Structure 1
Amino acid sequence: MKNIFAAIDIGTHTARLLIATVDADSMRIKDIAGSRNYIRLGEAWCNEGDVVLGDAALERTVLAIKAFSEIIFGFDVCSVRAVGTGILREASNREEFLDLVSKRTGIRIETISGEEEARLSAKGVASALGLGDDPFFLFDLGGGSTEFYLQAEGRSETTSLPIGAMRMKRRFITEDPPDRRSVEMIESYVEECVSKALGHMKLRKSTVPPVIGTGGTVVALACINKGLNISQISRESVNCLPLERIRVDGMLEEFASMRLEKLISYKGLDAQRAEVIIAGAAIVSTLFRLLDKNSISVSMSDLLDGLILESHGGKRYER
């Protein structure tokens, strides 16, 4: 019988579960089950002061993990690895928060660095898309941060920047719908952060390899563009979907003109992602421009896949 593995990601906006097996020959993942809950830890963000995760955030996280546990118990899972990303790296009461979660759920969450998150995401993407040694540039847009991974010319580079969709929404968007100035402020902030990072990675526009985007916002934009309903979204239907710059710019303009109550019912957009889709689309639009790309590929496979692969005993993904 094949070994079955479970991976959990506790992020800034969502908690996610993947249960899967791994083909030992191809090192490809076969999904068995998965789940997602919106835990909205990013509500703890404000413009000044420490990030403190409150009781409501704790309850949402505990309920999400308990729901995941019920799913996991339905399978003969040989290992469970749970990691914390995004806001959990910054919360001043992180250890107390995670201790309470562990005591109430029996699952211990390991907080990983942004660089480790980038590496694991790249491992999952490379396996799912069959990239091998091909050069690529990956960005993983989350609620609290965006991770970057470059594979090119026999080297790899990773970095993590504080430009997540929920973080940008909480910092810059105060009106519904947002005024144009709010969106421009997000774009300006992202440009400043990313331009410096690209310089440190020694990456110029003329040398950017094929770009792959992952993360909830990127997947949502690709699915809306493709006309997929939420029930049709899966790794099989999403991986390798193209996403064009002109379409992202158009969606950003459309979304920014809509009130949240209309966005919630937008076809293909999860109602609980609607709150951050404008900020997220502004980030993606800016990345297109900075990387000088007219089209990217999208991957739904990501960090969770990388965790599964390493639980299986696959080699660390590094060059």
Structure 2
Amino acid sequence: MSKKLAVIDLGTNTFQMIVATQERTGFTILFQKSTPSKIGKDGINRKVITDDAIHRAVSILADFEKELQRFEIFPKDVFVFGTSAVRNAANQDEFIDRVRDQMGFSIRVIDGSTEAQLIYLGVREAVHLGANPNLIMDIGGGSVEFIIADQQDVFWKKSFEIGGQRLIERFVKSDPLSAASRKHIFNFLDEQLIPLSNAIHQYAPQVLVGSSGTFETLAEMDHWNRLNDWPPAHQTGFDIPLEVFEKSRNLILSSDRAARLSIPGMKELRVDLISVAVCLIEYIVNAYPINRIKASRYSLKEGALSMFCNDNLNGT
């Protein structure tokens, strides 16, 4: 017998909710919602969630709660978790307490290693990873996760606190992004990603698999450019040829916010972080022997849903 469950991902830039029915063989998604939260804005590099951000968070969760009531889902069947902005905030307890007191949600703060593992679980539901190592990449507002894995096993994983909101507040001084800012970002990544370089040298992945977010937007831009429409909702995996990525990167980096928003396939949800996000992808493609890019529509939230369903089936 199927059971309704929900997961809520309290991301640094976006809050996302999935409502699904739990099946013996996995899950069926009934409803999804993504809302810009920007809980890292003006505070992420100071390790604080501002009062304005907490107010936005509570307001969004009140909206999510209405949907949960519509689907008749009870609090015990909702998994709410926080990632980079929450786990690094000095006022983490205040944030968690205010959400619990005002909304009744209990928040689980997940560490970077758990986040990376859940991203892997989500991506492999959407994209067949095969028998060779792939480099999976998830770009968030607070952190970026890298996982080297095939369809069966994770060989290496690590979360880096180099997400889009952090890079914006540290390096971005103009819109469009200046060449000087890009250079500063690349130099910073040279310093931060030494552990990744060592892992890539060891496992030699040649395929970059991007998790949702910017990668999904790049796939949707390509689909609009070729077919003047959104890709089918049931499609969970996409190929992004390197030449297509380069063309999209150039368009994004040469555009200000208004121009980016007018690009077919661009969602307002992505428009503020996408310039630094494509810089992150550009760095990976240029620094390592990547010959293919794939995009997965599934990411952290689907991985969390998979885990939550499995825990419920096992009675844990």
Tell me whether the two structures share a fold, i.e. TM-score over 0.5: yes
What is aligned with 1:175?
Answer: 174
Aligned equivalents of 1:266, 1:301: Cα separation in 2: 23
Query: Is the aligned partner of 1:56 residue 2:36?
Result: no
TM-score normalised according to structure 1 size:
0.87
**Alpha-carbon shift at residue 128 of structure 1 (Å):** 3.0
Counterpart position of 1:266: 263
Distance in structure 2 (CA, Å) of the matches to 1:266 and 1:272: 13
Q: 2:308 maps to which residue? A: 311
Rounded Cα–Cα distance in structure 1 between residues aligned with 2:187 and 2:181 = 10
Q: SS at the partner of 1:7?
A: strand
Other structure's SS at 2:255 match: coil
Q: For the residues of structure 1 that align with 2:305 and 2:37, how far apart are their CA atoms? A: 22
Distance 1:102 1:241 in 2: 38
Identity of aligned residues (%): 24
How many residues are treated as equivalent by the alignment? Answer: 308
CA distance in 2, matches of 1:124, 1:24: 17
1:16 aligns with 2:5: no
**2:224 aligned with 1:227, yes or no?**
yes
Question: Residues 314 and 169 from structure 1, CA distance in 2 versus in 1: closer, same or farther, beyond 3 angstroms?
Answer: same
What is the alpha-carbon distance in structure 1 between the residues aligned to residue 50 and residue 244 of structure 2?
Answer: 38
Distance 1:21 1:233 in 2: 24
Unaligned residue ranges in structure 2 (runs of 5+): none
Maintained 8 Å contact 2:147/2:154: no
- Spell out, residue by residue over 1:108-136, the C-alpha distance to the aligned partner (whole angstroms, 9 max, x if none): 11111111000011111112335476643
The 5 A counterparts of 1:115-134 are: 115-131=113-129
Partner amino acid for 1:40?
K
Any residues of structure 2 matched to 1:136-147 within 5 Å, and which? 136-147=134-145
SS in 1 for 2:266: coil
> Take 2:7 and 2:60, find their aligned partners in 1: how far apart are those partners?
13
3-state SS in 2 of match to 1:87: helix
Stretch moving more, 117-126 or 16-25: 16-25
For residues 127 and 22 of structure 1, the distance between their equivalents in structure 2, rounded to whole angstroms, comes to 15
**Quick one: distance in 2 between partners of 1:280 and 1:5?**
31
State whether residues 245 and 285 of structure 1, in contact with CA within 8 Å, keep that contact through their aligned partners in structure 2. no
Question: What secondary structure, in the 3-state scheme, does the structure 2 residue paired with 1:204 have?
Answer: helix
1:284 corresponding residue in structure 2: 281
* 1:35 matched residue in structure 2: 33
* Deviation per residue, 1:27-82 (Å, 9 max, x gap): 3x3210010110112212476xx322112101111111111111111224361101
Equivalent residues in 2 for 1:57-76, closer than 5 Å: 57-76=53-72
Aligned 8 A contact 2:206 2:290 in 1: no
Corresponding letter in the other structure for 1:109: I
Structure 1, gaps ≥5 residues long: none
Q: Are 2:237 and 2:294, in contact at CA under 8 Å, matched by a contact in 1?
A: yes
Deviations 1:80-99 (A, max 9, x none): 10110121121111111111
The corresponding residue for 2:90 is 92
Partner Cα separation in structure 2 for residue 242 and residue 273 of structure 1: 20
- Encode CA deviations 1:174-210: one digit per residue, 9 max, x unaligned: 11222211122222322332233231x3x22872153
Contact 1:17–1:68 (8 Å) recurs in 2: yes
CA distance in 2, matches of 1:265, 1:62: 30
Q: TM-score, normalised by structure 2?
A: 0.88
Which amino acid in 1 is paired with 2:189?
V
Corresponding residue number in structure 1 for 2:109 = 111
Q: CA RMSD for the aligned pairs?
A: 2.6
